[in-house]
Structure 1
Amino acid sequence: MKLKGWNEARRAARSERKKLSPAELRLWLELKTEPGGYYFRRQHAAGPYRLDFYCAKARLCVEIDGEAHGFGDRPARDAARDRWLEARGVATLRVAAAEVFGNLEGVLAHILAAVIARG
């Protein structure tokens, strides 16, 4: 089953590809080299959502969480989104933006291990 985005999410994802956060950009520069032979998409539209990175083969979403993800209604919105994706067979791997800058090799190893486990 393909994971397709709704029209509004597709338009937003297309726009967001041009303005990645610094942490997303840093990770994207590594993921676009297809580590372990796995292809990732950036800002992939899925239903009403935009996924930071998505590996279709492993049905894995990788989300870069900055500080804002811990405040207000953000945790509840993230949990609802994760449940929506899980109901469609997609696992979500959340990575703190600070980890991308402080331990990029470890983040990549963690992502690759998750992809291999699911792929």
Structure 2
Amino acid sequence: MRAEKQTFKRAKRLRRDLSLPEVILWDCLRGLRLNGLRFRRQHPVGPYVLDFFQAEGRLAVEVDGAHHDLPGQMHHDLRRDDWLAGRGIRVMRIAATDILDERALEGMLVMIAEAARG
């Protein structure tokens, strides 16, 4: 599914402006570092940009900061997740605080690998 030109531009900008939790997680996922799985960062899909995407497993990994707990953002996230699910993409949401906690991050990486493998 092809993304709009505007979405590609937004994805490119987001790749340059990763948050600290996104930088940490990307360091763990890039270059086949997680069990040989290939991930893309800030990947455009339709009108959305996915934080991380594992194409073979059709898995989107989203890093959620505190603003994702706000009612308006929660509604947007649900609508977005439903849209992605309709296209066969599963969404895994990870709290940014879990990525910043080294022990929690290890567990998150195991969960990501298992979800990507199916």
TM-score (norm 1): 0.93
Cα RMSD for the two superposed structures: 0.9
> How far apart, CA to CA, are the structure 1 residues paired with 2:50 and 2:109?
17
> How far apart, CA to CA, are the structure 2 residues paired with 1:95 and 1:107?
8
> How far apart, CA to CA, are the structure 2 residues paired with 1:116 and 1:58?
6
* Shift in Å, 1:43: 0.3
Instruction: Indicate the residue corresponding to 1:88 in structure 2.
Output: 87
Structure 1 gap segments, 5+ residues each: none
Structure 2 gap segments, 5+ residues each: none
* Shift in Å, 1:72: 3.8
Are 1:6 and 2:7 counterparts?
A: no
Instruction: Indicate the residue corresponding to 1:20 in structure 2.
Output: 18
Instruction: Indicate the residue corresponding to 1:109 in structure 2.
Output: 110
Are 1:59 and 2:58 counterparts?
A: yes
Q: 1:15 to 1:83 in 2, by over 3 A?
A: same
* Shift in Å, 1:37: 1.3
Which aligned runs of 4 or more in structure 1 are off by greater than 4 angstroms?
none
* Shift in Å, 1:53: 0.2
Give, as a single letter, the amino acid of the residue that structure 1 aligns with 2:67.
Answer: A
Instruction: Indicate the residue corresponding to 2:67 in structure 1.
Output: 68
Are 1:39 and 2:38 counterparts?
A: yes
SS for the counterpart of 2:22 is helix
> How far apart, CA to CA, are the structure 2 residues paired with 1:6 and 1:106?
35
> How far apart, CA to CA, are the structure 2 residues paired with 1:68 and 1:5?
25
* Shift in Å, 1:4: 2.8
SS for the counterpart of 2:60 is strand
Give, as a single letter, the amino acid of the residue that structure 2 aligns with 1:105.
Answer: E
* Shift in Å, 1:104: 1.3
Q: Percent identity?
A: 38
TM-score (norm 2): 0.94
Deviations 1:33-53 (A, max 9, x none): 311111000000010001000
